[in-house]
Amino acid sequence: MTRTDPEIADRIKKDIRLFFRHTDLKHEAIRELANLYFQQEAAKQADGMQEGAASPKVPLESEHVDEASFHPVDLDTLLRTEIKLPSLPTIFSQIIDLMSDPNSDAKDFSNLISKDPALAARLLKIVNSAFYGYRSKIDTISHAVMIIGTSELYSLCLSTSVLTLFHDIPSTLVDMSSFWKHSIGCGMIAKKIAARRGETNRERFFVAGLLHDIGRLIIYSSLPDQAHDMLSYAAQKKDLLYQAETRVLGFHHAEIGGKLLKKWKLPGKLADVVRFHHHPEESTEPLDTSIIHVSDILMNAMKLGSSGERFVPPLDPVAWKTTGLTVDMMSVIIEETASQIEEVSNILIPRKQKDRTQRYY
């Protein structure tokens, strides 16, 4: 390993103390994440690389936020009166109906998907990517159904449908490409953890990871002024963003995310996982929620995309044990995901979101 210049090493260590300030650096997993982060940043410095995305023109830390202006509201009242939750595309509703029909078969499913050429093309690209690792090319939806099954394609259809929903979110609040990269990566890590556990129906973990921060998009799109306040407050106080959300809004993104998934009539288990991914001890689905909780922390720690969070969230030690991960397994999963995430993100993220100017990370 190339020796890091002492001045650079000291700068990275100082960064680690700030970046991991909300975590327990004595925990084996956090200690290893800090070590991996050090190696990653040292390599970037050696290669002359800069930070992955641009900062806002006016640093959020310099903006004064008047806490007296915060007026928390009841989330249910807000949803009824001010926020219009987005609806899934019609084709996904048809897919849900088909999945619920006991008389339907794989041919019905493939015929429906094939009616949407853009969706079919994205699905074929993802199943042929390194993330799935099939040696032979899958060139038709019917072939994909035969190889990976309707449940897996159902999840991929949901994933690619969701990524087309959110438009015109101010780039001063979030870089949408970076947001989806974080979300996709979280789903990829979650699925890899589930695979190492020998879990069945592993596609649900990818979907939960993809959707875990979707409530933040509702906040960014429907409450942009309050979103700016919560981002500024978190930056000034060096606080976690979901805690700043609660301070400014009276609720956080995971709560509104759970409400959205219920509106979409997605499985109740999924809504519970999304709602409690920062507090897995409160979930009625401890395994799924623990895996998403840990996956989110791994993505934040490696700065593989961002939904707006500037610090590594705290790791629940019980959730860590629940996943069955070891430090060595964690390192391998991170390395695998880092090598695959660009390919998967380039397939799933809509081009118009990737082309937008980056202003906030």
Please tell me the predicted confidence (pLDDT) of residue 166.
87
Q: Are residues 276 and 344 in the same domain?
A: yes
Please tell me the predicted confidence (pLDDT) of residue 50.
52
Q: Are residues 178 and 216 in the same domain?
A: yes
Q: Are residues 79 and 104 in the same domain?
A: no
Q: Are residues 229 and 186 in the same domain?
A: yes
Please tell me the predicted confidence (pLDDT) of residue 72.
82
Q: Are residues 125 and 103 in the same domain?
A: yes
Query: How far, in Å, are 51, 78, 183, 240, 354 from residue 237 at the CA level?
Result: 22, 27, 25, 9, 31
Q: Are residues 80 and 96 in the same domain?
A: no
Please tell me the predicted confidence (pLDDT) of residue 61.
63
Please tell me the predicted confidence (pLDDT) of residue 273.
98
Range(s) of the domain holding residue 27: 1-50
> What are the residue ranges in the chain where pLDDT is below 50?
1, 52-58, 357-361
pTM over 0.85? The answer is yes
Please tell me the predicted confidence (pLDDT) of residue 3.
67
Q: Are residues 226 and 277 in the same domain?
A: yes
Number of domains in the chain: 3
Please tell me the predicted confidence (pLDDT) of residue 58.
46
Q: Are residues 204 and 65 in the same domain?
A: yes
Q: Are residues 183 and 210 in the same domain?
A: yes
Q: Using the structure block, give the residue that is written with the tokens 């903006």.
A: 63
Q: Are residues 65 and 191 in the same domain?
A: yes
Please tell me the predicted confidence (pLDDT) of residue 340.
93
The residue from 120, 146, 164 where one domain ends is 164
The residue from 134, 164, 194 where one domain ends is 164
**Residues in CB range of 241: below 8 A, 6 or more apart:** 230, 231, 234, 308, 309, 310
In this structure, what token pair is assigned to residue 294?
Answer: 């840990």
Please tell me the predicted confidence (pLDDT) of residue 112.
92
Region of residue 116 (left: phi > 0; alpha: psi -120 to 50; beta: else):
beta
Q: Are residues 113 and 158 in the same domain?
A: yes
Taking the chain, what is the end-to-end CA distance rounded to the nearest angstrom?
30
In this structure, what token pair is assigned to residue 129?
Answer: 């990517």
The residue from 148, 164, 180 where one domain ends is 164
Domain of residue 262, CATH code: 1.10.3210.10
* Interval 227-251: pLDDT, tens: 999 999 999 999 999 999 999 999 9
Q: Are residues 135 and 271 in the same domain?
A: no
